[in-house]
Structure 1
Amino acid sequence: MTQVGAVRRRGAAEVAGWVAALAPALVAVAVVASTSSWLLYRDGDSVVVALMADSLRRGDPQDWALSPVLFLPETAVYAGLSLFGFGTAATLTLNAVVNLLAVYGGIRLVAGRRRAGAVRGAVFAFAAFVGLILLEGPAGMPGLHLALLTATTTYYSATVVATLVVAGLVRRLLDGAPVRRVLAGIVVVAAVSTLTNPLFVVWCVLPVVGVVGILLYGRRLAPRTASSVAGAVLIGAAIGYLARAPFAGNIVAAGGQYLRPDQADAALAHVAGAIGGTIGRWDGVLWSVAVLALLVACGVVGMRAWRRRDAAVAAVCAIAVAAPVAATLLVVVAGTDADRYLQPWVFLPILVLAVAPPPVSVPRAVGVATAGALALAGVVAVPLAAAAAGRGDADLACVTRWVEQSGRTGAGQFWTVRAPKLALADPSQLVQVDHTLRPYDWLVNRGERRGPVTFLVEGAADAPYELPAGLSPLAATPVACGRYTILDFGSRVLPLGDPRN
């Protein structure tokens, strides 16, 4: 009876943990949906998963031009959620909640089993992650916005969760979990994650191998255990990389094209500017202090675990420090201004709260009041998120209505045409082109039929079109749709050049 009671108590604690995570997840999504709706619903990159899932649902010919990221888990999750029939914006909102709960699940795995405070530590760590989302503010503000990217379907949410899961599996193995089962889990997660996003190698594989090597050198791990962990993650990554071969025709930008060490100075200048923009805001200062404090705590807790020969906690803390450093080195070597590669800075240092939760003793009344406040916040967040998802976009509706009523095919540049393509019942009515009218094969289905182009959709930020000789925008009839302008050339066909990516 005692054992049954203990199982029930553990089950109740797990349910309570998930419920406690749901409320802040709903609050975070409501805030992101309300303040960064463009990023969540209409950003040129953010809509790719919805475009892919909708194309599969319609049974369109599939010939996608993709970056090295294949978005396989993200597309599967979105496609599954779309079966509820809520519509695109609502499905993206629900997907954001699922993403954040998946982050909690990864954190909970890291926190360990049958350990006092494991659920509490996982909830604390997840609350810290949500806190970072709220402190980042709207995506359009200056500074770094790394945590809120996890709410999108595009910016590597699956890779974030996979990295947490592998860290958790490593911790479980070092804590004495069944070796074969855990190693098999590491291989599967590493294989799927490398298949869909090679960035996983930098965020997870290399840090895990490096940390295991350090623990082996410091005699904190037995050679057999160290070789098993390193071998599992490396074998999984190798399987995933080889499994990318069938998708070679879809990957139009090879990984090597992203390595531009000659642009390292520009990348460092961009990072410095982003940090400057972050600490130039009061909430950015709090965000920066929190991230640094968590990173320092990882170092302190990790060293204490090292001294008492607790390899499991030492490994988690070391990964939480090594991965952000590896991600930063990648940014420098890649010579890029893509802040999204720096996400390990926000989702890994929080793990110190999961493996070493601060001792908190509060009166029962305070605990009940806190739980009630969380529940109330979650309940209030639902209609706010629903309102943000249901908020109409008159400009977008104007474009899609005109295009559908025309029955013709038009074209537009990447950042302008993506949201209208997603909103159309037949996305092939809009061809994605560059400013010279060459089809721009980037995150788009090349299998779409392309009719004769007789109009252009342009936005204020588009590069000026360079039309063929004898054609001028002045010859078109402009149709104003807010931030969009449709240039209707009537029966005149605009010739398209050779595709490019």
Structure 2
Amino acid sequence: MTQEGSTRRRAAEAAGWAAALALALVAVAVVASTSAWLLYRDGDSIVVALMADSLRRGDPQDWALSPVLFLPETAVFAALSFLGLGTPATLTLNAVVNLLAVYGSIRLVAGRRRAGVHPVAGAVLAFAAFVGLILLEEPAETPGFHLALLTATTTYYSATVVGTLVTVGLVRRLLDGAPPRRVFAGIAAVAAVSTLTNPLFVVWCVLPVVGVIGILLLGRHLVLRRALPIAGSVLIGAAVGYLLRVPFAGNIVAADGNYLRPDQADAALAHLTGALSGTVGRWDGVVWGAAVLVLLVACGVLGMQAWRRRDAAVAAVCAVAVAAPVAATLLVVVAGTDADRYLQPWVFLPVLVLAVAPPAVSLPRAAEVALAGVLAVGGLVAVPVTVAAAGQDDADLACVTRWVEESGRTGAGQFWTVRAPKLALADPAQLVQVDHTLRPYDWLVNRAERRGPVTFLVESAADAPYELPVSPRDAERVACGRYTILDFGSRVLPLGEPRN
């Protein structure tokens, strides 16, 4: 490549990242403004911040976790927290980083620049489609599907989304003729880390990739000596990831019965039907659903075209983009779950059709300048909106944390109520996470920080009615907006046996 060609390539890549940054800023501004509770205070969403803060303080570690270990997510948040921006700002910056990681992964899938092909433009277009799906999703508290915006959170599988896209991208590069040794090692490493932190990666990525490679082999689009190492690297990586989970067995408190309930398949189908109805019951939901469907169909069409011209790389990407959403849906039904977050492949994989079929021609210079201007303005406008959302005062939360810290005592509260105050406290051990019977509730919490005695409760409308050994009328009630503190003074509330 000539010096001029290399300079142009670097300029194109830089322009792609700049466009992705502008789009990410717009997306995060919308999520922070419309789904602030999900991003900053939701009981699940803040587990990564709790873990990172605990590690930073050097606390003893004994976390009770779901099958998801949040290892990459915690590492990213911990690194960003060293900037000293405060928790809401760090969560916001983390959302931007998550989305940029999605763009980088899509860029990997788009492949190398070739004559008449513009992979950077394809990657930006695919990422813009993903951001468009985020913008079309209603606030997280409304009925319907909210799949794309979950990537902005630190909890709902952003690392698994990126790991899946990176694996698909590496497989595509292999099928395009990239030097195999390093790529095989990369696939195995990504599969190992992704499976270690979240076994859902097996359904989202491992099974679809191995199945597609098998189909390409049977269809004589791949020879055995090429197919086996690809499938083997994914499977070996996933197997290593599972083995690496063994040391964390004591931290994974969820029983299999919590996640595999085939007897609840009818309820899962009913939930999916209700979520779909809630989505298409509004105009933006109709556009969202139509866009997802069109992208999925386009993947199927482009994949068949690639199959006929024996383009194994593009055929594999499109086939995985179709197979993974189907596999995720089957998992939801077979597992009998109402966890919509398992369905995220529907929004981050079909957009890849735009990355592997990028525009064959460049835009006129004037159009490029105009588009760059629009993106720049959008990104600049998004920044103050995001800063305002992240910096919005929560007087109710401040009231609780101030009272708890001034009391110098230990209290308790139920999961959906106590999580945000625990994160806001300088010493989260001042609040014990319990259920409605005052049994310590070991779920996404550091069991090592539990202490007592408990002499007050923090409650909200989200709580189940407490079953207490004393009457709540004996407590002094302190109003803190959506929170109420029940202060029993010197009277100790006995805690039961822990449960998860």
Common topology (TM > 0.5): yes
Aligned twin of 1:16: 15
Aligned twin of 1:477: 476
Aligned counterparts of 1:134 and 1:277: Cα–Cα separation in 2: 16
Aligned counterparts of 2:11 and 2:239: Cα–Cα separation in 1: 40
Q: Is residue 79 of structure 1 aligned with residue 78 of structure 2?
A: yes
The residue type paired with residue 50 of structure 1 is: A
Aligned twin of 1:154: 155
Aligned twin of 1:227: 228
The residue type paired with residue 497 of structure 1 is: G
Deviation by residue 1:217-271 (Cα, 9 ceiling, x = unmatched): 1111111111111100000000000000110110001456411000000000000
Specify the SS of the correspondent of 2:448.
Answer: coil
Structure 1 residue 414 displacement after superposition:
0.2
Aligned twin of 1:302: 303
Structure 1 residue 357 displacement after superposition:
2.0
Following superposition of structure 1 onto structure 2, how do residues 447-466 of structure 1 map, counting pairs within 5 Å?
447-466=448-467
Q: Is the 1:112–1:118 Cα contact (8 Å) retained in structure 2?
A: yes
Q: Is residue 250 of structure 1 aligned with residue 251 of structure 2?
A: yes
Aligned counterparts of 1:36 and 1:199: Cα–Cα separation in 2: 25
Aligned counterparts of 2:388 and 2:340: Cα–Cα separation in 1: 29
Aligned twin of 1:41: 40
467 and 256 in structure 1: CA distance in 2 versus 1, 3 angstrom threshold: closer
Aligned twin of 2:125: 124
Q: Is residue 264 of structure 1 aligned with residue 265 of structure 2?
A: yes
What TM-score, normalized to structure 1?
0.98
498 and 483 in structure 1: CA distance in 2 versus 1, 3 angstrom threshold: same
Structure 1 residue 141 displacement after superposition:
1.6
Q: Is the 1:437–1:497 Cα contact (8 Å) retained in structure 2?
A: yes
Aligned counterparts of 1:479 and 1:8: Cα–Cα separation in 2: 65
Aligned counterparts of 2:256 and 2:125: Cα–Cα separation in 1: 37
Structure 1 residue 361 displacement after superposition:
5.1
Q: Is residue 66 of structure 1 aligned with residue 72 of structure 2?
A: no
The residue type paired with residue 485 of structure 2 is: I
Aligned twin of 2:206: 205
Q: Is the 2:63–2:446 Cα contact (8 Å) retained in structure 1?
A: yes
Q: Is residue 171 of structure 1 aligned with residue 175 of structure 2?
A: no
The residue type paired with residue 75 of structure 1 is: T
Specify the SS of the correspondent of 2:459.
Answer: strand
Structure 1 residue 369 displacement after superposition:
1.1
Aligned twin of 2:187: 186
Specify the SS of the correspondent of 1:447.
Answer: helix
Aligned counterparts of 1:175 and 1:255: Cα–Cα separation in 2: 40
Aligned counterparts of 2:134 and 2:479: Cα–Cα separation in 1: 36
Q: Is the 1:68–1:254 Cα contact (8 Å) retained in structure 2?
A: no
Structure 1 residue 449 displacement after superposition:
3.9
Aligned counterparts of 1:473 and 1:206: Cα–Cα separation in 2: 53
The residue type paired with residue 141 of structure 1 is: T
Specify the SS of the correspondent of 1:478.
Answer: strand
Specify the SS of the correspondent of 1:431.
Answer: strand
Structure 1 residue 383 displacement after superposition:
1.1
Runs of 4 or more, structure 1, over 6 Å off, are: none
Aligned counterparts of 1:257 and 1:36: Cα–Cα separation in 2: 27
137 and 360 in structure 1: CA distance in 2 versus 1, 3 angstrom threshold: farther
Aligned counterparts of 2:24 and 2:256: Cα–Cα separation in 1: 33
Aligned counterparts of 1:367 and 1:209: Cα–Cα separation in 2: 40
Aligned twin of 2:326: 325
Aligned counterparts of 1:13 and 1:374: Cα–Cα separation in 2: 15
The residue type paired with residue 312 of structure 2 is: A
Specify the SS of the correspondent of 2:485.
Answer: strand
Deviation by residue 1:291-341 (Cα, 9 ceiling, x = unmatched): 000000000000000000000000000000000000001101110000000
Aligned counterparts of 1:224 and 1:384: Cα–Cα separation in 2: 54
Aligned twin of 2:406: 405
The residue type paired with residue 85 of structure 1 is: G
Q: Is the 2:432–2:450 Cα contact (8 Å) retained in structure 1?
A: no
Aligned counterparts of 2:369 and 2:210: Cα–Cα separation in 1: 43
The residue type paired with residue 341 of structure 1 is: Y
Q: Is the 1:202–1:323 Cα contact (8 Å) retained in structure 2?
A: yes
Q: Is the 2:121–2:359 Cα contact (8 Å) retained in structure 1?
A: no
Following superposition of structure 1 onto structure 2, how do residues 318-397 of structure 1 map, counting pairs within 5 Å?
318-359=319-360, 362-397=363-398
Specify the SS of the correspondent of 1:437.
Answer: coil
Q: Is residue 102 of structure 1 aligned with residue 101 of structure 2?
A: yes
Aligned counterparts of 2:63 and 2:195: Cα–Cα separation in 1: 19
Q: Is the 2:118–2:359 Cα contact (8 Å) retained in structure 1?
A: no
Identical residues among aligned pairs (%):
82
Q: Is the 1:68–1:255 Cα contact (8 Å) retained in structure 2?
A: no
Specify the SS of the correspondent of 2:477.
Answer: strand
Aligned counterparts of 2:475 and 2:214: Cα–Cα separation in 1: 65
Q: Is the 2:455–2:488 Cα contact (8 Å) retained in structure 1?
A: yes
Q: Is the 1:305–1:313 Cα contact (8 Å) retained in structure 2?
A: yes
Aligned counterparts of 1:195 and 1:175: Cα–Cα separation in 2: 28
Specify the SS of the correspondent of 2:284.
Answer: helix
Specify the SS of the correspondent of 1:7.
Answer: helix
Aligned counterparts of 2:314 and 2:103: Cα–Cα separation in 1: 18
The residue type paired with residue 453 of structure 1 is: V
Q: Is the 1:171–1:315 Cα contact (8 Å) retained in structure 2?
A: yes
Specify the SS of the correspondent of 1:85.
Answer: coil
Q: Which moved more, 1:350-359 or 1:452-461?
A: 350-359
Structure 1 residue 139 displacement after superposition:
0.8
Structure 1 residue 362 displacement after superposition:
3.6
Aligned twin of 1:425: 426
Aligned twin of 1:314: 315
Aligned counterparts of 1:466 and 1:269: Cα–Cα separation in 2: 33
Q: Is the 1:162–1:189 Cα contact (8 Å) retained in structure 2?
A: yes
The residue type paired with residue 70 of structure 2 is: F
Deviation by residue 1:157-195 (Cα, 9 ceiling, x = unmatched): 000000000000000000000111110000000000000
